[in-house]
């Protein structure tokens, strides 16, 4: 195969609405072939460290939102994070992802020190996923050695975005702009969306996929919206649904369609088979994601006493497992579909191409 024919917005929309099994089987096959050709058969592992569940924001979908008083809040110490990073090295991972709520108790200097220590003591690539911080913070962490930044824009529909993200006083939220800034100062950038947000239409989702292309993302993570009862979007009957026939379902099938289309539109991107997908299909959601366009998994290395408190959505996969159990589980799943565990850091193929 030489290149991928450019999918128009109309093509994307038609595929999102496609329900014929034979046609969909062709889509999976096409996405898998493009994945094989552009990013190969290696599946890179990123060790996820959920190091703080404090959050100052009130995202209407997220179980960690500041209003949820039922969450027992924690912050891991720098030494605890370092121990997780060393454990990730022991498992052969090339990257750790430091993820937290938007926690202003995490200062620029403190997180900068943690990044510096990881970079000094290990060969790991460091990805940060700590929300919308100031340009000063982001640049400081880059100087400390951070390599990548994850910030999902969640939806490209501005009205829907505003409805589910109450603003911080006086600060305008523009995640695509922040992603472009992150890229301009040298980060690899990752983003993504939720699928099936109440009020999200097929047109919105087609726009999301077009925005993936436009932002030229290095990593793109998508997963189904999963209602959490302790959040404003958790009660079905109270939602502003899109008109009948236009509302995107938050289904497993729709997630595969988006993974596959994302691979076709952004052939060099790193695309994870996400925990949310593994949550809607505990049996083989991860494997099916990997067979329909994805090339990355993010095994959780957070210590068990903390991970059960990081309940973004209910029944989250891996919540009771240890890092060792997740490692074995992922290894088994990857090998069961005839793929290999990636070696090295798994840097963005997109970047390498862009630099050439
Ligand atoms: N359902 C699915 N995904 C969610 N996220 C947050 N809350 C939910 C939910 N209820 C996703 C968001 C966020 C990522 C860390 O988790 O996309 O960016
Ligand atoms: Fe955690 Fe399967 S990856 S239990």
Tell me the per-residue pLDDT of 99-121, one tens digit each, with 9 for 90 and over.
999 999 999 999 999 999 999 99
Look at ligand 1, atom 8, and give the residue with the nearest C-alpha: 62
Question: What is the pLDDT, as a whole number, of residue 351?
Answer: 73
Q: pLDDT value at position 234?
A: 95
With a 6 Å cutoff on the Cβ, whether 223 touches ligand 1 is yes
* Structure tokens given for 39: 């990013």
Q: Which of 3-7, 23-27, 338-342 is predicted with the least confidence, judged by mean pLDDT?
A: 3-7
Asked whether the predicted pLDDT for residue 323 surpasses 70, the reply is yes
Query: In the structure, what pLDDT confidence band is assigned to residue 355 with cuts at 50, 70 and 90?
Result: low
Give the mean pLDDT of 207-211: 98
Name the closest-CA residue to atom 1, ligand 2: 326
Q: Please, are residues 145 and 184 in contact by the beta-carbon 8 Å criterion?
A: no
Q: pLDDT category, 354, cuts 50, 70, 90?
A: low
Q: Judging by beta carbons within 10 Å of its beta carbon (0-12, 13-18, 19+), is residue 78 exposed, middle or buried?
A: middle
Domains annotated for the chain, with CATH where assigned, are 9-355 (3.20.20.70)
pTM recorded for the entire structure: 0.97
- The percent of residues above 90 in pLDDT, for the chain, comes to 94
Whether ligand 1 lies within 6 angstroms of the CB of 228 is answered as yes
CB 175 within 8 A of CB 190: no
- Over residues 239-278, the pLDDT tens digits come to 999 999 999 999 999 999 999 999 999 999 999 999 999 9
At residue 1, the pLDDT reads 47
Chain position carrying tokens 């929309």: 13
**Ligand 1 centroid – CA 22 distance (Å):** 31
Residue to mutate, 212, 219, 298, 312, ligand 1, most ligand atoms under 8 Å from C-beta: 312
Q: Does residue 70 register a pLDDT over 50?
A: yes
3-state secondary structure of 271: coil
Handedness of CA 222, 226, 227, 231 (dihedral sign): negative
For a mutational test of ligand 1's pocket, the pick from 195, 223, 280, i.e. the residue with the most ligand atoms closer than 8 A to its C-beta, is 223
Residue 317 has pLDDT above 60, yes or no: yes
pLDDT of residue 88: 98
3-state secondary structure of 18: coil
Q: What average pLDDT does the chain have?
A: 96
Query: What phi and psi values does residue 275 have, to the nearest 5 degrees?
Result: -65, -35
Q: How far is the CA of 194 from the centre of ligand 1 (A)?
A: 7
The model's pLDDT over 329-347, given as tens digits with 9 standing for 90+, comes to 999 999 999 999 999 999 9
pLDDT value, residue 83: 98
Query: Does the pLDDT at position 38 exceed 50?
Result: yes
Give the tens place of pLDDT for each residue, 292-303: 999 999 999 999
Return all residues near 95 (Cβ < 8 A) that are at least 6 apart: 44, 45, 46, 47, 88, 124, 125, 126, 127, 147, 148, 345, 346
Cβ neighbour number for residue 308 with a 10 Å cutoff: 12
Confidence of residue 2 (pLDDT cuts 50, 70, 90): low
pLDDT band at residue 205, thresholds of 50, 70 and 90? very high
| Structure confidence at residue 315 as a pLDDT band (50, 70, 90) | very high
Q: What is the DSSP letter of 171?
A: B
Per-residue pLDDT band for 169 (boundaries 50, 70, 90) equals: confident
The residue-averaged pLDDT of 314-336 equals: 96
Residue 29 has pLDDT above 90, yes or no: yes
State the CB neighbour count (10 A cutoff) for residue 174: 14
Of 1-5, 84-88, 131-135, 284-288, which range is least confident? 1-5
CA distance 302 to 321: 10
Among all bound ligands, the one having the nearest atom to the CA of 151 is 1
């Amino acid at each position: 195969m030489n290149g991928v024919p450019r999918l128009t917005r109309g093509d994307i929309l038609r595929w999102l609405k496609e329900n014929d099994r034979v046609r969909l089987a062709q889509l999976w096959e096409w996405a898998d072939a493009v994945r094989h050709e552009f990013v190969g058969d290696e599946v890179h592992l990123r060790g996820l460290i959920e190091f703080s569940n404090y959050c100052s924001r009130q995202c209407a979908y997220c179980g960690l939102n500041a209003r949820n008083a039922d969450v027992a809040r924690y912050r891991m110490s720098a030494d605890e994070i370092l121990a997780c990073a060393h454990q990730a090295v022991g498992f052969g991972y090339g990257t750790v992802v430091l993820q937290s709520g938007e926690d202003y108790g995490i200062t620029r200097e403190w997180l900068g020190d943690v990044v510096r220590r990881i970079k000094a003591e290990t060969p790991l690539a460091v990805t940060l996923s700590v929300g919308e911080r100031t340009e000063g913070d982001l640049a400081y962490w880059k100087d400390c050695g951070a390599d990548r930044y994850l910030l999902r824009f969640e939806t490209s529909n501005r009205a829907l975005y505003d409805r589910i993200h109450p603003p911080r006083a006086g600060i305008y939220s523009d995640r695509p702009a922040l992603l472009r800034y992150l890229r301009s100062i040298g980060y690899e950038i990752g983003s993504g969306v939720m699928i099936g947000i109440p009020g999200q239409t097929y047109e919105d989702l087609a726009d999301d996929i077009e925005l993936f292309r436009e932002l030229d993302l290095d990593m793109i993570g998508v997963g189904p919206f999963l209602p959490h009862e302790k959040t404003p979007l958790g009660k079905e009957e109270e939602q502003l649904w899109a008109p009948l026939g236009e509302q995107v379902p938050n289904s497993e099938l729709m997630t595969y369609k988006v993974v596959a289309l994302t691979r076709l539109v952004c052939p060099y991107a790193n695309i994870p088979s996400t925990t949310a997908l593994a949550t809607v299909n505990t049996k083989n959601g991860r494997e099916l994601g990997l067979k329909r366009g994805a090339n990355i998994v993010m095994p959780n290395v957070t210590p068990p006493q903390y991970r059960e408190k990081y309940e973004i959505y209910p029944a989250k996969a891996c919540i009771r497992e240890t890092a060792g159990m997740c490692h074995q589980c992922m290894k088994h799943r990857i090998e069961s579909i005839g793929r290999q565990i990636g070696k090295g850091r798994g840097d963005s193929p997109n970047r390498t191409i862009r630099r050439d």
